[in-house]
Amino acid sequence: MTRPATPAISPFFIVSDVARSIAFYRDRSGFAVTFQEPAGEPFFAIIVRDGAQLFLKSLDGVTAMPNNKHHPSLRWDAYVYTPDPDSLAADLASRGTAISSTLQDRNDGLRGFEVIDPDGYVLFFGRPR
């Protein structure tokens, strides 16, 4: 019997401005918009790059709350697996993305780097060593 697959999970980020977040992820990180509503001034969007997908939503009066605002040691909001973090870091840097944590072999057995989006969400792009 074959086990049913669960090939992806999509973090849901509450953001201050969906259009600004779309521009950051599209222009700086190579994500494509697969859905946004409404088209002109979206309050919701789905963006994707390969198997990584994020949901973005804004609502008046609701502020973004990245994990690190709860506690400094709760740093990451999303772990994005990439088999080649070195090439991805170079690709993102060529797009003008600021790498907030240098590409490195970490003491927790991972190799990767961090990117912080305009609302302060921290995404770790990496893999086990």
pTM: 0.91
* pLDDT exceeds 90 at position 64: yes
pLDDT in tens, 74-101: 999 999 999 999 999 999 999 999 999 8
User: Span 12-58+68-128: which CATH code?
Assistant: 3.10.180.10
CB of 47 closer than 8 Å to CB of 30:
no
32: tokens are: 């494509």
Strands (E), 1-129: 12-14, 32-37, 44-49, 52-57, 78-81, 101-105, 110-116, 122-128
Give domain limits for the chain: 12-58+68-128
pLDDT in tens, 33-62: 999 999 889 999 999 999 899 999 999 999
pLDDT, residue 7, reads 79
